[in-house]
Amino acid sequence: MWGLLAFMVSACAAGFILFRRNTVPRSSRQTAGASRLSVVIPARNEEANLPHLLSSLQAQRYRPYEIIVVDDGSTDRTGPIARSFGATLIGGLPLPEGWTGKNWAVWNGYLRSTGDLIAFLDADVRLAPDALGALIEARAQVGGAVSVVPYHYTEKFYERLALVPNLLGLFAFTSPFERTNPRKGLYGSCILTTRADYERAKGHEGVKSELLDDLTLGARFAEAGVPVANFIGRALVSFRMYPGGIRSEVQGFGKGAVQSTGKLSKPTVLLVALWLVGLICAEAAPFVLHSAWAPAWAAGYLLYTLQIYYFARHTGRFGPWLPAVHLLSTAFFLYIMLYSSYRVLFVGHVSWKGRKIGVKGGAK
């Protein structure tokens, strides 16, 4: 019994090794004289999300020089909404062979931009009023390209099931072992870089066919000698990922769940696996209440629950009770991994926003 408890305690401790509260440093310095900032937003059927982002951009204390929305073949009111906020709209661009839709959209936004700094933002992102200024100052401090893992706002039950997938994703970007990983990735929802560094890394043209464009782009920056730094968004950068239903949530997480593990360093993968195995072991507690080992299992479950409540404060808003019944989210995560494996190994493509995207190494 005590050996089981010792294992769960050790596995739980792996989470504290992986997690760093690496939030974007707030600064009192003035950024009024900073270089001109271009904001590029790829958008495909984002009429529900786009007003939140564009409103938050208008409320920034550091105002961007230009805001460019690239309409990636939308069939809703994405284009008219972008115009109504005064953004520069690019649309009607046929997708060439060999490109994924988002990469093509982002690349064309870059080609149209004129700023010395470029922020690439997903349409579901929302910014606190001092977010852009803080990001610019953070990039000036650490150099190179920076990205932010946004704080995940949820409203419906199915959205809150993303708790464990979000925690594991956060581990991947805050792990201390990723600092020296030559394949260190960026988080694609919010990236800030200089034009010069982006061009040195060959930008999204260099990763045009990649499904995991953000992770691969980070490696391209590193290969070009440009350092990469990742932060936690918490009070500055947030998003609501999948308001369109659980199907879009499964497709969104599933499109890169399996392949992304291959980009991480071995120590990160091993510690994430250890933490996850310990979590699953602890979650057996409700099913063994009448066994002699029930106290050890209950202690492990309580330990993980307290840890998850702590991590969730930095990860997203998942409701007051779901972290206590995290086994629901763990089951959801395991389903996503099975779904992703099936799409990669047997189907050979993933589906996202009405498109089929080929997966390298999958079925033909």
Tokens 């779901």, residue located: 322
- Residue 27: the pLDDT is 59
Number of Cβ atoms within 10 Å of the Cβ of 96 = 8
Local confidence band at 344 (pLDDT 50, 70, 90 cut-offs)? confident
- Could you tell me whether strands 349-352 and 228-232 are parallel, antiparallel, or unpaired per DSSP bridges? unpaired
Q: Which amino acid is at 171?
A: F
> Token pair for residue 226?
């440009």
Local confidence band at 294 (pLDDT 50, 70, 90 cut-offs)? confident
Task: Please check whether residue 170 lies inside any domain of the structure.
Answer: yes
- For residues 178, 183, 184, 188, the Cα torsion angle rounded to the nearest 10 degrees is -150
Looking at the structure, tell me whether residues 196 and 270 fall in a common domain: no
- Residue 364: the pLDDT is 36
Q: Tell me the pLDDT tens digit for each residue of 221-280.
A: 999 999 999 999 988 999 999 988 999 999 999 888 877 887 889 999 999 999 999 999
Q: Tell me the pLDDT tens digit for each residue of 323-335.
A: 999 999 999 999 9
Domain boundary among 203, 219, 251: 251
Looking at the structure, tell me whether residues 157 and 8 fall in a common domain: no
Q: Is the pLDDT of residue 181 over 90?
A: no
Looking at the structure, tell me whether residues 58 and 203 fall in a common domain: yes
181 vs 194, more confident:
194
- Residue 363: the pLDDT is 40
- pTM, full prediction: 0.93
Looking at the structure, tell me whether residues 46 and 89 fall in a common domain: yes
| CA–CA gap between residue 175 and residue 344 (Å, rounded) | 26
For the segment 157-176, the average pLDDT, to the nearest whole number, is 95
Looking at the structure, tell me whether residues 210 and 164 fall in a common domain: yes
Task: Please check whether residue 32 lies inside any domain of the structure.
Answer: no
The answer to whether residues 187 and 148 touch, using CB atoms and an 8 Å cutoff, is yes
The dihedrals phi and psi of 86, each to the nearest 5 degrees, come to 80, 10
Looking at the structure, tell me whether residues 142 and 104 fall in a common domain: yes
The answer to whether residues 103 and 207 touch, using CB atoms and an 8 Å cutoff, is yes
Looking at the structure, tell me whether residues 145 and 210 fall in a common domain: yes
Domain boundary among 225, 251, 277: 251
> How many domains does the chain divide into?
2
| CA–CA gap between residue 44 and residue 248 (Å, rounded) | 13
- Residue 362: the pLDDT is 43
The answer to whether residues 282 and 300 touch, using CB atoms and an 8 Å cutoff, is yes
CA angle in degrees (0–180, nearest 5) for 330-21-179: 90
Task: Please check whether residue 242 lies inside any domain of the structure.
Answer: yes
- Residue 292: the pLDDT is 80
The answer to whether residues 41 and 121 touch, using CB atoms and an 8 Å cutoff, is yes
CATH code, domain with 68: 3.90.550.10
The answer to whether residues 36 and 65 touch, using CB atoms and an 8 Å cutoff, is yes
- Residue 351: the pLDDT is 79
Mean pLDDT of the chain: 91
Q: Is the pLDDT of residue 319 over 50?
A: yes
> Token pair for residue 334?
């395991």
What does the DSSP 8-state code read for residue 92?
A: -
Looking at the structure, tell me whether residues 83 and 231 fall in a common domain: yes
Looking at the structure, tell me whether residues 241 and 283 fall in a common domain: no
For the segment 130-152, the average pLDDT, to the nearest whole number, is 95
Number of Cβ atoms within 10 Å of the Cβ of 204 = 28
Local confidence band at 214 (pLDDT 50, 70, 90 cut-offs)? confident
Looking at the structure, tell me whether residues 8 and 49 fall in a common domain: no
Q: Tell me the pLDDT tens digit for each residue of 21-75.
A: 888 876 555 554 557 999 999 999 999 999 999 999 999 999 999 999 999 999 9
- Residue 244: the pLDDT is 87
> Token pair for residue 105?
């959209």
Task: Please check whether residue 300 lies inside any domain of the structure.
Answer: yes
For the segment 163-185, the average pLDDT, to the nearest whole number, is 91
Which H or E element spans position 129? Answer: none
- Could you tell me whether strands 355-358 and 349-352 are parallel, antiparallel, or unpaired per DSSP bridges? antiparallel
- Residue 46: the pLDDT is 94
- Residue 29: the pLDDT is 56
The dihedrals phi and psi of 161, each to the nearest 5 degrees, come to -65, -15
Task: Please check whether residue 27 lies inside any domain of the structure.
Answer: no
Task: Please check whether residue 46 lies inside any domain of the structure.
Answer: yes
Task: Please check whether residue 26 lies inside any domain of the structure.
Answer: no
- Residue 28: the pLDDT is 54
248 vs 358, more confident:
248
Task: Please check whether residue 364 lies inside any domain of the structure.
Answer: no
Q: If you write DSSP's letter for every residue of 4-56 in order, what string do you get? A: HHHHHHHHHHHHHHH----BPPP--S--TTSPPEEEEEEESS-TTTHHHHHHH
Q: Which amino acid is at 65?
A: Y
The dihedrals phi and psi of 206, each to the nearest 5 degrees, come to -75, -15
Looking at the structure, tell me whether residues 227 and 267 fall in a common domain: no
Residue 248: Cβ-neighbour burial (10 angstroms; 0-12, 13-18, 19+): middle
Domain boundary among 229, 251, 273: 251
- For residues 271, 276, 278, 282, the Cα torsion angle rounded to the nearest 10 degrees is 160
What does the DSSP 8-state code read for residue 292?
A: T
SS3 284: coil
Tell me the residue range of the domain where 326 lies: 2-18+262-358
Residue 355 CB partners (closer than 8 Å, separation 6+) = 101
Looking at the structure, tell me whether residues 246 and 267 fall in a common domain: no
For the segment 295-304, the average pLDDT, to the nearest whole number, is 93
